[in-house]
Amino acid sequence: MTRSEDAAKPCSASGAPGAAPRVLDLRPYACPLTYVKTRIALERIAAGERLEVWLAAGEAVESVPRSAAEEGHRVVSVERLDAADGAFRVLLEKGAPQAGGLP
């Protein structure tokens, strides 16, 4: 996948719990772009749906889950994607819209 392609690729019609989550492969990207792209993907799904984010080892593995949790999303899991390349899989569940947020 090249940087010019849209990295989000849906695995199923629904990212709801029990269904396959949408996958966002951000391994070629660095912070802060990793969370910018994650946030955009989260905005495009409904509350309760899940998003699987693939990240290269490093700062993004700490900052993406932390930033998502701070914005009210649930961090379901953080685990190694493949021991060979050191990548990680972060599974997020979109939270309900925050009261008092921007329209």
Note whether 64 and 90 are within 8 A (CB).
Answer: yes
The structural domain count of the chain equals 1
Q: Which two tokens stand for residue 4?
A: 């010019």
Assigned domain for 98 exists: no
Assigned domain for 41 exists: yes
Q: Which two tokens stand for residue 39?
A: 């946030």
Instruction: Give the number of other Cβ atoms within 10 Å of residue 103's Cβ.
Output: 3
Assigned domain for 45 exists: yes
Pairing of strands 87-93, 74-82: antiparallel
pTM greater than 0.95 (yes/no): no
Assigned domain for 8 exists: no
Residue of 31, 78, 87, 91 with catalytic role: 31
Assigned domain for 38 exists: yes
The confidence score (pLDDT) of residue 7 equals: 43
Looking at per-residue confidence, does 9 or 23 come out higher?
Answer: 23
Among candidates 91, 94, 87, which has minimal Cα distance to 73?
Answer: 94
Instruction: Give the number of other Cβ atoms within 10 Å of residue 14's Cβ.
Output: 17
Assigned domain for 57 exists: yes
**Mutual angle of helices 33-43 and 59-70, in 10-degree steps:** 40
Assigned domain for 87 exists: yes
* Active-site residue, 31 included: yes
Looking at per-residue confidence, does 50 or 81 come out higher?
Answer: 50
The residue segments making up the domain with residue 51 are 21-93
Q: What is the CATH number of the domain that holds 51?
A: 3.30.110.40
